Chain A
Amino acid sequence: MYEPAAKPVIKKRGLRRRHVLVGVGAAAGGLAITKALGLYNLSSQPSLPGQTESPTVAGIDWISPLDKPDAQVAHLLRRATFAATPSEYQQTIKDGFKKTVDRLLETKAAEPPALAGADDATQEKPIKPQELVAWWLDWMLRTPTPFAERMTFFWHGHFTSDFRKVNLQTPFIYWQNLTWRQMSLGNFHDMLYQVTIDPGMLRYLDLGTSTGKAPNENYSRELMELFTMGVGTFTEDDVRAGAKALSGWREPVTQAMYDALVARAQQQGRPAPRNVTPDTVKTGVFEQQRAYVGGVKFLGDVRQWDTRAALEKILTQESVAPFIVTKVLREFVTDQPGDAYVKRLADGFRKSKYDVKSLMRDVFMSPEFVAPTSYRALVKSPTELMVHMAKALESPALAKAIGLAGQGMGQLLFDPPEVGGWPSNASWISSNNVLARVNFAQATLTGMARIPAFKDAHTIHLDGVVSPATAQLLNSSPDDATRWLILLASPEFQLK
């Protein structure tokens, strides 16, 4: 009863949207819509009764402004960074797209100030999760190298770990954040080794307790399934062989952790543990006697493996480049990257010997990045959303509030829901999350002593492209506080 009635119109819908997207068939419908979407005389024009009726636009796409240089730059800032304050935006517009890409890519990641006490975290003095989260958010808001920070956030979702399992009684999850930032624009090859022996990762995926005698498969599997090759590209035998090949690592013990251990022993009248000594490295420690000795067949080759050789072998697999490229494109360009696009960038990624900077340059300079189909084709994660809000309102002091609000929207930093990292795009949209996003905008504005003038915020943050409903509400808002609420809570602002 339902399906047959619906079927004949599917094609119409598909065609119609495509027409709008490529601008071919947009002549008739498109022009009218452009007009409807325009925000003319925003501050002076009063709301007129009768103009408030929105035309039905369900199924009609945004009219992409990405043929205009200013909009291209704003688009880049929303995706390659955590968006911009009005003054950052003005400066970037002056620089233009190409120069901005150069600046973002070629500036070495700036290090955040140290989180007090984190290096010396122990059972007695653990890192406080809310301080760790606010520390990172503060740096997202203030860093002079926002692209490196955005990539650190990307890697945090890709090579993920959570503070619950890693535990805040060690500095490991804090170190992981510092390491990911240092590696964020380097070589994927180098990063993968660093990831494998990262103390937080050794604990999160159990490689730190795996031995050649009775290997733990957790890291071996997720290394191939989630970090490099993708599901279905390896066998169960490869998982088991990989676990053997990678075994032999343990977590380091910091001086502070060692001292705390000794102090605890003394308190309890026990002798200091003799089999533990403090390590100076901030990586895992390899112990040959715990490693697997002997040949195993891994991804087709039989030999004695070590960690580097096993990672090399993984990186020779055809599936790695398209897997990583697809993940990058779904985060930075479009939820549905086409096969040819993926292949083109994957070929380049391989040719560059997995140079991340070169891949990201290819991404931002690709015609697909500014294609109409990429406009508002991604949903901001809660972190991106709230950091953009703080930048729009020029309120860097919001870091703590953002940290507290993240959990209710499904994104408490350092605490991804699963080993696969964060959800993406449509998966962020639920009744709970849409409400929490709107409430954060409302609470933030209510809590501000002075709300900045709205001026051309709709241009800076939304490219002046808004739905009839948003236009009507902005036009009829009595004051700037209301205009800000409309803008920050709008569906447009949820997208990037």
Chain B
Amino acid sequence: MKQLGGTNGLSRRDFLRSGLVFGVGAQALASGYAAVPDVFARAVLSAKNAAIQNDKVLVMIQLGGGNDGLQTVIPISSSQYRDFRPQLSAAAAKAQPINKDVGLHENLKGIKALYDSGKVAIVQGVGYTNPSFSHFDSIRVWETADPARRQQDGWLGSAIAKNYDSAGHPLVGCACGTTNVPGMLRDLQATLTVIDDVKTFGFQGGQNVENVMGTLYKGTPGMYGALFDSAMSTVRDTVAQLRTSSAKYTPKGNYSDKVQLVYSSKNQLAAALQLAAELIVTGTGVKVLHVTLGGFDTHYTELNRHDQLMGYLDSAITAFHDDLTAYGMADRVMIATWSEFGRRPKENASGGTDHGTASPVFVIGDGIKGGLYGETPSLAKLDQLGNLSYSVDFRAVYQEILASHLGVDAKEILGQSFDRVPFVKAPA
């Protein structure tokens, strides 16, 4: 609290929350807001973290646009599936069966191999009540873990702020392969950094310029002042951390992008995961990472596009897991996918699918108790809009990640408890 006293004893969180920077409701939703940490965050809960810090790492992979669960975990024996999807159901014959009812997409070969070795949990039918069909609205629900839409902080940002003393450790929360702060990580009290490309993450002009910028971004007035100042201090901490990281890193997985780039998958997943691996392996203190693969809004010619995306996802995750295994870290790292919604069972005229509801979540790692969780969504019992019903609340998945993997108080972050989805082998 001493440091807080130095800045008039004021909480930046409360300052910002008083509405001076961000509004609530639709406008704030539309813009999102950046969570950039600063000196105010540095005094947070240092006493608490000693007890809860384990060596686990979480990597969240966003499948942006709404991943089609029915083309990912395919209901191979369902005649309704063929009826709803005359074109897209061609995927069923090529799927890799995991039981008599469902099979993994043919391009998920690496993930299938990991599944067969018990390292992949597939939670089926994940969703929430009164689902939104808006990308932005539903992304916000998943990001804040709050279907009531009262929260502004991301659930992971909140987990960082409440549990980790990030003073001098700017990489506790890190978005890789992107330029802006992803909503899941944002929390005004969480220190987090964003690294698009580690090779260019440094000051052109060297130490001199860095020193000048440190002076320039201090005590900046105005409603964005604290955000700018803290972003710059995070830059400098990140540069210092990257400079002093102990180990040398050479990738030991095959991250080459063999699959053709899909139109809007501008976040190159393989490159982002390679960066994530580098940060994990070199001991930069990363704890919670976020990467994105876009292009899943497959309203048209889905068969081709989704095939490519599956291949892209599979090769990137396989390379990442191989890499971590080679460095002996695969038991520490959990990979989990998320997407704002699944897609409509019935295909449209463009050979694609429109926005839908429940879809599967993949959780991958050596600490995972592999298998199928949740219920396979029924195509016989669609809701009145022709969509799938969910069987697992997405927050139950979050709960298992928080409590059993990271070993933090999930209820403090989620506000309530859910039935356990026990995909972590040895809960923290």
Contact = CB atoms under 8 A, between A and B. Distances in A.
Interface of A: 1-3, 5-7, 9-10, 12-14, 17, 54-62, 162, 164-165, 167, 205-206, 209-211, 213-218, 221, 225, 230-232, 236, 239, 326-327, 330, 335-336, 376-377, 379, 407-410, 415, 417-420, 423-436, 438-439, 442-443, 446, 467-470, 472-473, 485-486, 489-491, 494-495
B414 to A, nearest CB: 18
A430 B203 contact: no
A494 B13 CA distance: 22
Question: What's the interface size class on B, roughly?
Answer: 35 or more
B27 A326 contact: yes
A467 B222 CA distance: 10
Interface in B193-238: 193-197, 200-205, 209, 212-213, 215-229, 231-232, 234-235, 238
B350 A427 contact: no
A333 B29 CA distance: 19
B181 interface: yes
Given A13-B15, A213-B349, A231-B29, 5 more contacts: A5-B11, A13-B10, A236-B133, A430-B193, A431-B234
Nearest to B36: A429
Contacts of B352: 206, 216
Interface in B1-53: 1, 4, 6-11, 13-15, 18-23, 26-27, 29-34, 36, 43-45
B21 A430 contact: no
B223 A377 contact: yes
Given A58-B8, A427-B180, A164 B266 contact: yes
A61 B223 contact: yes
20 contacts: A6-B11, A6-B13, A13-B18, A54-B219, A56-B6, A56-B8, A58-B8, A162-B264, A209-B300, A210-B349, A210-B350, A408-B197, A415-B266, A430-B180, A432-B201, A467-B225, A468-B219, A486-B216, A490-B216, A491-B225
B411 to A, nearest CB: 17
A420 B215 contact: no
Contacts of B154: none
A335 B347 CA distance: 40
B380 interface: no
A495 B26 contact: no
Nearest to B17: A10
Most-contacted residue by chain A among B18, B21, B26, B219 (CB, 10 A): B219
Given A54-B219, A409-B179, A218 B354 contact: yes
B36 A431 contact: yes
Nearest to B132: A231
A25 to B, nearest CB: 16
B158 to A, nearest CB: 14
B349 A215 contact: yes
B418 interface: no
A442 B213 CA distance: 11
Interface stretch (B134-142, B248-256, B401-409): B134-142
B9 A55 contact: no
Nearest to B20: A17
Given A410-B180, A428-B34, A467 B201 contact: no
Interface in B327-348: 347-348
B127 interface: no
A467 B228 contact: no
Contacts of A12: 10
Contacts, number: 274
A236 B6 CA distance: 52
Contacts of B229: 58, 491
B27 A330 contact: yes
Contacts of A432: 178-180, 193-196, 201
B33 A426 contact: yes
A216 B204 contact: no
Contacts of A408: 179, 196-197, 200
B183 to A, nearest CB: 10
B299 interface: yes
A62 B224 CA distance: 11
A60 B297 CA distance: 44
B45 A2 contact: yes
Contacts of A216: 299-300, 348-350, 352, 354
B170 A431 contact: yes
Most-contacted residue by chain B among A221, A327, A438 (CB, 10 A): A438
B360 interface: no
B348 A210 contact: yes
Given A423-B180, A426-B34, A469-B219, A59 B194 contact: no
B148 interface: no
Contacts of A495: 222, 224
A2 B135 contact: no
Given A2-B11, A9-B8, A231-B26, A489 B213 contact: yes
Nearest to A290: B349
B350 A467 contact: no
Most-contacted residue by chain B among A230, A377, A415, A470 (CB, 10 A): A470
A433 B226 contact: no
B153 to A, nearest CB: 14
B304 to A, nearest CB: 13
Most-contacted residue by chain A among B18, B43, B201, B220 (CB, 10 A): B220
B10 A6 contact: yes
Most-contacted residue by chain A among B32, B264, B294, B347 (CB, 10 A): B264
B224 A429 contact: yes
A326 B229 CA distance: 28
A379 to B, nearest CB: 6
B213 A57 contact: no
Contacts of B294: 417-418
B7 A56 contact: yes
A428 B36 CA distance: 11
A336 B8 CA distance: 26
Given A427-B181, A429-B34, A430-B231, A379 B224 contact: yes
A335 B222 CA distance: 13
Contacts of A7: 14
B355 interface: yes
Contacts of B311: none
Contacts of A423: 31-32, 180
Contacts of B226: 58-59
B232 to A, nearest CB: 6
B385 interface: yes
Most-contacted residue by chain A among B19, B33, B238, B294 (CB, 10 A): B33
A377 B348 CA distance: 44
Most-contacted residue by chain A among B34, B197, B352 (CB, 10 A): B34
Contact of A494 (B11, B228, B263): B228
